[in-house]
A and B are shown apart, each in its own frame.
Chain A
C-alpha cells in the first residue's frame, strides 16, 4: 500500500536531495477507508514543512528552526542534521486529491482516503 522507495527513485526531485537529512520515524495505519500516517518532525515550524505528492510518490520534507544563542558551543549532539526527508510510494487506490494534513507539536498526521471504487470488496476464493 505504502512503501519506502529506493533513494534512486527520489533523486529526480531536485538538488536538495543531495544534502543529508534525518529519516523521521513514522507510524502507518490502514483501515477500510484509508491510510493514516504519523511522522515525528520535532523542531520544524509549520511554514518549513513541505508535504507533496508527485505522481505516485509522497514526499515529506521539513527544515528545523531552533532558537539557538549565537555564542553557543555544542557539547553533546544526538541530532546533528537540521532537516528531515522521507519518500513513500503510493498505490493507485489512494485518493491523494483528498489528503488531509494536520501538524501539531512536531507531529504530522496525514490522512489519505481510498478512492471510492477502491473500498474493499470481498473476493470469493474457490478451492478444490
Chain B
C-alpha cells in the first residue's frame, strides 16, 4: 500500500489516516477495548445528583439496545445492520462510512452512583442514560447555627 502508486491516493482517505495517527499520538492511554473513535460515540457528564451518559447511536431499534449496569460498569451493546446491498451486480457503493455490525461500549461508573436508579431514553438516535447518585452521597447544604 505504501510507496509509489500509480494514482495519487484519495485525499480524503489520506486525511482520515492522518487524523487517526494524530489521535493515537495524543491519546496516551487508550481504552483496552480500542480507541475512543468507536460506535457509538460517547459523551459523559455529571451533576450533583446524577451521571448523564449520551451515546450517539443512530439507526437502532430502541428495543434492541442492551443497557446494563453491573459491577460498577455501564455497558451498552447491540447491533446495527448494514443498509448496503449484498453482492448485487446492478448496484455500486460509492461511499461506505457508516458503522455496521455488533457494538459494545462500557463506562466505568463512580462508586456513589445507584445501580437501581437508572433511566434510559432513545431519541433522535441518541441514547441518554441517567444514573442517580445514592442519596447519602449527594451534597447537602448544612445550615450553620
A residues lining the B interface (CB < 8 Å): 1-2, 4, 25-32, 35-36, 38, 40-45, 65-69, 71-79, 104-107, 109
Contact = CB atoms under 8 A, between A and B. Distances in A.
A43 B93 contact: no
B126 interface: yes
Contacts, number: 123
B46 A72 contact: yes
Given A31-B85, A43-B54, 16 more contacts: A4-B12, A25-B99, A26-B95, A27-B84, A29-B94, A32-B90, A38-B83, A40-B59, A42-B56, A42-B58, A42-B126, A43-B56, A44-B125, A45-B124, A68-B52, A105-B125
B93 to A, nearest CB: 5
Contacts of A44: 124-125
A67 B128 contact: yes
Contact of A71 (B42, B47, B84, B88): B47
Given A26-B95, A30-B94, A76 B125 contact: no
Interface in B85-104: 85, 88, 90-99
B98 A66 contact: no
